[in-house]
Amino acid sequence: MNIILAAVGGTIVLAILAIVFGLILSGVDRRIVARMQARIGPPLLQPFTDVRKLFAKQNIVPANAIPWLFNAMPIIALASAIAILMYLPFGSFAPILGELGDVILVLYLLIIPSLALVIGGFASGSPYATVGAQREMVSMIAYELPLAAAVIAIAWRLMAAGVADPFSMLTLMQTSAWDVVGPLGIVALLLLLVMLAWVTPGELSKIPFDSPEAETELAGGILVEYSGKNLGLFTLSQAVKTVAMAAFGIILLLPWNLSPFLGLTGAAAGVVDLIFFVLKVIFVAVVSVTVVRTMMARFRITQVMGLYWLVLGGLGAVAIILMMADAYLLGVI
């Protein structure tokens, strides 16, 4: 009973916090991109205005769409994006449902918002959305390989170091992978850092991996037929997913907290860690999304495939081998 209450309460609080923070993050992103392109850019709170406007607009369902599927997908996308947050620790706060799921579950949950987009795209019956949905499926398959390789490399190394329950989010938060590895392992972790920085924009469909939504090719792709509240829900799910993806990367590779260094305990430690965590999320989002999308052109879907499978998949394999060599050299296996 207790856990259900915690889940319900936690969901509501987390959902509101994540939506607000996600939209602010999107505002920060737009603002920084504008500055980098020598523009002024919109106000920081523009995404709130956009979403408010979308929710006030009429919800149009195309004539040849499958209405229930078309309308259900935005809700599923937002719900699953919020569900990811239930399994992620924030700062020194343990995840609400941490005991009920691990990293692998988060990997699955990360797919659902994209899958909802794909199904919504197919259900809308527009040729642009169909092509966009096909591309989204291809890029989903593409970025899962390096992401899974990164997770496996870290979890395997933690297991080799004798850490109990290496796939658990709580373990990952408490035990930094950087603390258990030797020199070769550090090289491997740096490789994983690069890989995650490239997977993040792919996961979030941002330039150069925005081919499913490519405005100039597909007029918005998957989302082309979505309008009003449905589009607003997708915008919110995208904002929440940005937070979730950045947080996931931080938990895997940048899990430090500030309170042990400052010698803080109790509520003060929690607040300081949370602020530090938020700053880390902003930093990760800016580095791997904002900067990358400012300095690159959109990839072709074949290039996306090639990059994720050949280049980053290869890097992932190298990282796993380096991790094994590291464990072997340190004599833990």
Partner 1 sequence: MAKKAPYIVPVGPIHPALKEPVHIELTVVGEEVISADFTPGQTHRGIEWMGLSRNPVQIVHLTDRICGICGVTHSLAFARAVEQIADITVPERADYVRTIIAEFERIQSHLLWAGVAAHELGFDTLFYLAWRVREEAMDAIELITGNRVNYDIIQIGGVRRDITEDQHEQILRCLNNYKDLFGKLKTLFLEDAVISSRCKGTGLLSFEKAMAYSTVGPTARASGCTADLRVDYPYAAYGDLDLKPILPTAYGSEVNGDTYDRIVVRIFEIAQSIEIIEQCLANMPAGPVLWEEKVAKILATCKKAEGEAVGRHEAPRGECLHYVAMDRSDAPIAWKVKASSYSNLHVWPLILKGAQLADIPIIVASVDPCLSCTDRVAVTDADASRTKIFTKEELTRLSYEKTRRMKQ
Q: How far apart are CA 327 and CA 333, in angstroms?
A: 6
Q: Which is nearer to partner 1, 169 or 301 (CB)?
A: 301
Q: Do residues 109 and 84 make contact, with C-beta atoms less than 8 angstroms apart?
A: yes
Q: Which is nearer to partner 1, 119 or 218 (CB)?
A: 218
Q: Which is nearer to partner 1, 17 or 219 (CB)?
A: 219
Q: Which is nearer to partner 1, 2 or 37 (CB)?
A: 37
Minimum distance between the CB of residue 41 and partner 1, rounded to whole angstroms? 11
Q: Which is nearer to partner 1, 181 or 292 (CB)?
A: 292
Minimum distance between the CB of residue 214 and partner 1, rounded to whole angstroms? 7
Q: Which is nearer to partner 1, 7 or 197 (CB)?
A: 197
Minimum distance between the CB of residue 118 and partner 1, rounded to whole angstroms? 16
Buried/exposed 259-281: b ≥16 CB within 10 Å, e otherwise: beeeebeeeebbebbbebbbebb
Minimum distance between the CB of residue 294 and partner 1, rounded to whole angstroms? 5
Q: Which is nearer to partner 1, 36 or 274 (CB)?
A: 36
Minimum distance between the CB of residue 34 and partner 1, rounded to whole angstroms? 9
Closest CA to 158 of 148, 168, 149: 168
Q: Do residues 287 and 125 make contact, with C-beta atoms less than 8 angstroms apart?
A: no
Q: CB under 8 Å to 149, separation ≥6 — which residues?
A: 195, 313, 316, 317, 319, 320
Angstrom CA distances, 172 to 19, 135, 168, stand at 25, 33, 6
DSSP codes, 118-140: HHHHHHHT-HHHHHHHHHHHHHH
Minimum distance between the CB of residue 218 and partner 1, rounded to whole angstroms? 8
Q: How far apart are CA 31 and CA 330, in angstroms?
A: 46
Minimum distance between the CB of residue 224 and partner 1, rounded to whole angstroms? 10
The one-character DSSP state at 252 is: H
Q: How far apart are CA 181 and CA 281, in angstroms?
A: 24
Minimum distance between the CB of residue 216 and partner 1, rounded to whole angstroms? 4
Binding site for partner 1 (CB under 8 A): 36-39, 127-128, 130-131, 134-135, 207-208, 210-211, 214-217, 219-220, 294-303
Q: Which is nearer to partner 1, 99 or 215 (CB)?
A: 215
DSSP codes, 88-129: S-BTTBPPTTGGG-BHHHHHHHHHHHHHHHHHHHHHHT-HHH
Q: Which is nearer to partner 1, 96 or 214 (CB)?
A: 214
Instruction: Assess whether the previous peptide bond of 201 is cis (omega < 30° from 0).
Output: no
Q: Do residues 332 and 157 make contact, with C-beta atoms less than 8 angstroms apart?
A: no
Minimum distance between the CB of residue 287 and partner 1, rounded to whole angstroms? 16
